[in-house]
Amino acid sequence: MNLILVTFIILLAFTSYYFGRKKALVIQSSQRLTALPKFYGYYLAAWCAVPALIIFVLWSVFEPSIVKTFILQDYTDQNLTKNELQLIYTKVKALAAGTYTGNITNFLDESANKYIQLKGIANSAKVAIILAILIFSLSFAYRSVQKNDRMREPVEIFLKWVLFVASLGAVLVTIGIIFSLLFEAIRFFQAVKIFDFIFGTHWYPAKTFVRDGQPDPELMKDAFGAVPLFAGTFFIAFIAMCVAIPIGLLSGIYLSEYAGRGVRKYAKPIIEILAGIPTVVYGFFAALTVGPFVKEIGNAMGLEVSSESALAAGAVMGVMIIPFISSLSDDVITAVPQNLRDGSYAMGATKSETVKKVIFPAALPGIVGSILLAVSRAVGETMIVVMASGLAANLTMNPLESTSTITAQIVVILIGDQQFGDPKTQSAFALGISLFIVTLFLNVIALSVVKKYREKYE
């Protein structure tokens, strides 16, 4: 039903576009048009589609709750709790749809009939109202087309609003995510002191699990210390950067300054393929290939290596990040003006001297920016860590031991059974928002560094 209605509105809008344009061509024969004929079409189409679709969306949003209120009116005298009412409403809906399998009481049956009836009325009313609006707005718009009103401005204003609504939507969603993180995190910090979270050195949320009833506050105090997670996160990111920065940067310099056109044409896409590999593939590569390899090498040297090591996860993560750094630094190096290179060569500098003394310093801010973006990517990486570095939050600086990160712990907390309102579940939100703050901070620095770099050359 809804699908037919929407399709109808859209088809009508297309038709009115052609109709409006045709009308404009007719007007053209007797008087000067106020805009190109297609603007008349846009004007009519916009007036046709937008009011009807807005009403349609509003109706669809509010209809269920209004129907629900009507149905549940019959139950107000029974002193039911909110949850029980919700259950009844679900039963009524299921009964109406014919998928209910429980006991059917008279009362329920009556409500279901009422539900079907209400739905029917609502549907016809919806169709009627939308048709009325279509007729009204189309005739209004058609009249101004007929009068040959100014068409360009309303269409431009309409387009401006479309763009505004799109960007507003993006911003609101972001704000919504941040607030939902924030509220849950605040509830978590009501159960666990923020001091214990930031400075605690033990992360073991599983031990707070108590069947029925509140967990012991003493236990809570010692279970949610995020220090091992932050340490693990930055430690693994550090290992990753140790791999990614030298290789990425040197290959970026090679590609932009040394490689011939042929090499560059093939090498750059191949390096960028690395960025296209799904992280889960990197994850099992780290867990099943690199991890055991590291363990074997370590054992051969007489070291004790766990099969899930920070080293394996960090190294593979570094490989994943190489294309970020090489591609971005290649771009910023290529953006260094050619006349600086010419100036240096003309002084008799060799290629490596030119790279070292002129190009690298000139591109440095951009390179730093790309590295910071890569760090925030490393900090936020999840899959590789979950698969290759283990889940036990050890506070260690030994790359051969297993350690865990913020992202990996969020996964651990939220897979399997969990209870909402449980501090263990809420701790995921606290971790999420701390991670968000860290990466936001890195991104802001990176962007401001890159901006500064741009200003220098413009």
Partner 1 sequence: MSKIKAENVNVYYGSKQALFDVSIDIAEKEVTALIGPSGCGKSTFLRCLNRMNDVIDICRVEGSIKMDNLELNSRKLDVVRLRENVGMVFQKPNPFPKTIYENVAYGPTIHGIAQSKEEMDQIVETSLKKAALWNEVKDRLDEIGTGLSGGQQQRLCIARAISVSPEVILMDEPCSALDPIATAQIEELIDDLKKEVTIVIVTHSMSQAARVSQKTGFFHLGKLIEFGSTDKIFKNPDKQQTQDYITGRFG
Site for partner 1, rule CB under 8 A = 260-261, 337, 339-350, 353, 357-358, 361-362, 456
Question: Considering Cα of 422, then 423, then 425, then 430, what sign does the dihedral take?
Answer: positive
Neighbours of 412 (CB within 10 A): 18
Tell the smallest beta-carbon distance from residue 261 to partner 1 (Å). 7
Q: Which is nearer to partner 1, 364 or 391 (CB)?
A: 364
Tell the smallest beta-carbon distance from residue 456 to partner 1 (Å). 6
Tell the smallest beta-carbon distance from residue 448 to partner 1 (Å). 18
Q: Tokens 């940067």 appear where?
A: 249
The span from the CA of 378 to the CA of 239, in Å, is 10
Tell the smallest beta-carbon distance from residue 267 to partner 1 (Å). 17
The span from the CA of 253 to the CA of 360, in Å, is 9
Q: For residue 417, what are its two tokens?
A: 């059974």
Q: Which is nearer to partner 1, 238 or 345 (CB)?
A: 345
Q: Which is nearer to partner 1, 106 or 338 (CB)?
A: 338
The candidate with the shortest Cα–Cα distance to 113, out of 69, 66, 62, 71, is: 71
Q: For residue 45, what are its two tokens?
A: 């189409």
Tell the smallest beta-carbon distance from residue 264 to partner 1 (Å). 12
The span from the CA of 67 to the CA of 65, in Å, is 5
CB 231 within 8 A of CB 389: no
Tell the smallest beta-carbon distance from residue 352 to partner 1 (Å). 11
Tell the smallest beta-carbon distance from residue 358 to partner 1 (Å). 5
Q: Which is nearer to partner 1, 167 or 339 (CB)?
A: 339
Q: Which is nearer to partner 1, 441 or 457 (CB)?
A: 457
Q: Which is nearer to partner 1, 99 or 339 (CB)?
A: 339
Planar angle of CA 84, 88, 90, nearest 5 degrees: 115
Q: For residue 31, what are its two tokens?
A: 């008087």
Tell the smallest beta-carbon distance from residue 364 to partner 1 (Å). 10
3-state secondary structure of 224: strand
Planar angle of CA 278, 284, 287, nearest 5 degrees: 140
Q: For residue 128, what are its two tokens?
A: 């009627």
Q: For residue 371, what are its two tokens?
A: 């590295």
Tell the smallest beta-carbon distance from residue 370 to partner 1 (Å). 18
Q: Which is nearer to partner 1, 98 or 348 (CB)?
A: 348
Q: Which is nearer to partner 1, 149 or 353 (CB)?
A: 353
Q: Which is nearer to partner 1, 82 or 261 (CB)?
A: 261
CA atoms within 13 A of residue 397's CA, in its CB half-sphere: 0
Planar angle of CA 192, 195, 198, nearest 5 degrees: 95
Amino acid at 247: I
Q: How far is CA 374 from the centre of its chain?
A: 17
Three-state secondary structure of 372-392: HHHHHHHHHCCHHHHHHCCCC
Q: Locate all alpha helices (DSSP H) within 203-226, ordered by sequence.
A: 217-223
The span from the CA of 386 to the CA of 405, in Å, is 8
Q: Which is nearer to partner 1, 213 or 260 (CB)?
A: 260
Tell the smallest beta-carbon distance from residue 326 to partner 1 (Å). 22
The span from the CA of 324 to the CA of 338, in Å, is 24
Tell the smallest beta-carbon distance from residue 165 to partner 1 (Å). 43
Instruction: For residue 450, give every residue at least 6 positions away whose Cβ sits within 8 Å of its Cβ, in sequence order, or none.
Output: 365, 366, 369
Q: Which is nearer to partner 1, 292 or 337 (CB)?
A: 337
